[in-house]
Amino acid sequence: MLKEVQLPIVGMTCAACATRIEKGLNKITGVEEANVNLALEKATVKFDSEATNVDQVIHKIQDLGYDVLMEQEEAAISHREKELEKQKGKFIFSLILSFPLLWAMVSHFEFTSFIYLPDLFMNPWFQFSLATPVQFIIGKQFYVGAFKALKNGSANMDVLVSLGTSAAYFYSLYLSIDAAFGSGGNMPDLYFETSAVLITLIILGKLFEARAKGRSSEAIKKLMGLQARTANVLRDGNEQEIPLEEVMVGDIIYVKPGEKIPVDGEIIEGRSALDESMITGESVPVDKTVGDPVIGATINKNGFLKMKATKVGKDTALAQIIKVVEEAQGSKAPIQRLADKISAIFVPIVVGIAVATFLIWFIWVDPGNFAEALEKMIAVLVIACPCALGLATPTSIMAGSGRAAEFGVLFKGGEHLEMTHRINTVVLDKTGTVTNGKPQLTDIFVENDFSEVEFLQLVGSAEKQSEHPLAEAIVSKITENGIDLVDVAEFEAIPGYGIRAIVNNHEILVGTRKLMKKYDIEFETAAEKMVTLEESGKTAMLVAIDGKMAGIVAVADTVKETSKAAIKKLKDMGLEVIMMTGDNGLTANAIAKEVGVNAVIAEVLPEGKAAEVKKLQALGKRVAMVGDGINDAPALAIADIGMAIGTGTDVAMEAADITLMRGDLNSIADAIYMSKKTIQNIKQNLFWAFGYNTLGIPIAAIGLLAPWLAGAAMAFSSVSVVLNALRLQRVKLDQ
């Protein structure tokens, strides 16, 4: 049985760490897939529970030198905040000790010679006493990380930092001892400030990075904050306020004006307008009355409601939304693969370049000048940290998918976020997507000897057994007119054709021309009337009773107010828009003409929709299928991108790559726009990360970059990548 677990990991410092854990987990027997997200500091592992278990996964992570937090999400956040405070304390301690060393270093430049420099600051042993705590107390985390990495046969940022700072520290210590006890006696050029200032700057960079990464997961925190904390529940005949966690399915809940709906449910008494903007992104309050579903975390604006809980805990729409956003933020986009491959071999290559730099300087550029060659080597080691490379993609995915969720667009994974902007063809299901999906019975045409009441009673009784939206419209109107329905002896739904039933000993057929032909029913007399109805955009259904044509019933589904403008927007973006429906061609073309769609695929059976999508793909088109996520599931699955439009039920979310919570076609353009902006952001980050290392390493190698400047540049590179990703949180849908 396939299971999935998310594990918060402590101790990762760069992309090489994430790659090493990922490789290690993927080697475990039974692990299907393991993704490690450096920005979220989480591992997402899919595994066969019969072949392995969570304990083995955790044990492997610990063997690799990292820890796993097994607390709840809030506890994990608390742990990260404590770690942040600890790092802040280390930075302050390191800054105090490094400041005199930095003062001494800055005073050596010609343009700063006017700065007063106490003699004590130049004393080698004074510098040693300041640099040693920084090197081994503050810098202990780098040594520990480097040891664990090397023990497992790999290298990471800690190896580079440890090598660089240790070289500067121990060489300075050697010079100090030689000056004190050797034959030299002269004041040597020391590099204690190089190691101490480097460590201080790297700790500062990590602080900035951690703060920025915390902001990039704001979407999850906001969604969690939407939940009500308590609910007023009817228990033992009394109204009681209880914690949200104690609400059970079937509980009767009272919701006063201004309060949040605590869980998903159904109204059993009262009416009100509900603000659903926090869930769907739709700003206009929605009127609700008895029988209507309500979503947890939405706000009751003005009426008293009595509701019955239908979904609680992890089953609520909000919980499902949080789950989808978390999975998207923790997933890996295909564009990240290149960065992962480079990160895996990056550190050993950099160490090789650093050694080569030392030898070239020591042997050829400045022969015999050990200090100069060492300084250049340290600069190369420090500037080449692959942190920015590891953060470039996941931070953008986190920020982009989180911002999209605020607009009611839920991407199921990073790969879908990357693919969406590439689509060039949008296929729209008609009912419930282009139209409101709430058809009404508009026309009744009766032939032969049946009265209208008897005709409607037989049709309504037969259709009552069907779950099709058109059947519901017919039954609703008939019962509203006071016509009693009777029991059905037999019933058969024929997908794509219609229904067959036995009612009061009469065989009833209701459906398409194909259904009539299937049962050899003559319908020429009704054909002209049917065409007229269809040309006006109505769906007409032929009715046969006891093998003879008996009449027509027609229903009309109103077009959504936003459909026409949304389709124009898609066409303006250069997309080909196609409407696909099971309706006949005349009705489909009438609706398509109304909303501005030029291409129509009509009379498609449910199982044929996936085949139609395949045909489009065979023509080289990248197809987004937009439907309700249930009836269109095969087509949604086969399309390059499947978009479920509607209220975001768990069924719809499972069927589609993207859920459009607003139920509005404008969300399609929003999804494409957010995908485009996110991929642009990722490319900017990768360009900066690759460019930084491509330019920085040669500059350091030729001696144009002091080690402390290299450390500052390295810290800035990671922070800049995260800050650039955070710009996605301010994206506005004004494209």
User: For the stretch 190-221, what's the b/e string if a residue is b when 16 or more beta carbons lie within 10 angstroms of its beta carbon?
Assistant: bbbbbbbbbbbbbbbbbbbbbebbebbbbbbe
In this structure, what are the phi and psi dihedrals at residue 531, rounded to the nearest 5 degrees?
Answer: -60, -40
**Which residue's structure tokens are 């609520």?**
316
Q: Which two tokens stand for residue 340?
A: 């992962």
Which residues have C-beta within 8 Å of that of residue 576, sequence separation ≥ 6? Answer: 424, 425, 426, 599, 621
Instruction: In whole angstroms, give the CA distance from residue 247 to residue 253.
Output: 9
Instruction: In whole angstroms, give the CA distance from residue 645 to residue 657.
Output: 11
DSSP assignment of 421-464 = GG--EEEEEIIIIIB-S--EEEEEEE-TT--HHHHHHHHHHHHT
Contact 59, 26 (CB under 8 A): no
Q: Which two tokens stand for residue 460?
A: 């309504």
Beta-bridge mates of residue 7? 43
Looking at residue 341, its amino acid is K
* 3 state DSSP class of 98: helix
The bridge status of strand 252-255 relative to strand 305-311 is antiparallel
* 3 state DSSP class of 667: helix
The H or E element spanning position 680 is helix 666-701
DSSP single-letter state for residue 4 = E
Residue 492, CB-side half-sphere exposure with 13 Å CA sphere:
8
Which residues have C-beta within 8 Å of that of residue 214, sequence separation ≥ 6? Answer: 80, 84
Contact 13, 158 (CB under 8 A): yes
Catalytic hit among 429, 557, 583, 640: 429
Which residues have C-beta within 8 Å of that of residue 446, sequence separation ≥ 6? Answer: 452, 455, 550, 551
In this structure, what are the phi and psi dihedrals at residue 5, rounded to the nearest 5 degrees?
Answer: -135, 145
**Which residue's structure tokens are 């200032």?**
197
Sign of CA dihedral 485, 490, 494, 497: negative
List the end-to-end C-alpha distance of the chain, in Å, as a whole number: 45
Instruction: In whole angstroms, give the CA distance from residue 478 to residue 484.
Output: 8
640 is catalytic: no
Beta-bridge mates of residue 577? 426
Q: How many of the other CB atoms lie within 10 Å of CB of 446?
A: 18
Contact 606, 495 (CB under 8 A): yes
Q: Which two tokens stand for residue 728?
A: 């996605």
Instruction: Name the strands in the sheet holding 641-645, side by side, starting at the edge strand that comes first in the sequence.
Output: 409-411, 658-660, 641-645, 623-627, 425-429, 576-580, 599-601
Q: Which two tokens stand for residue 382?
A: 């420090």
- Measured at the CA of 109, the angle between CA 106 and CA 111, to 5 degrees, comes to 110
Contact 544, 521 (CB under 8 A): yes
Q: Which two tokens stand for residue 451?
A: 């009265």
- Measured at the CA of 644, the angle between CA 639 and CA 649, to 5 degrees, comes to 140
Instruction: In whole angstroms, give the CA distance from residue 350 to residue 372.
Output: 19
The set of catalytic residues is 429
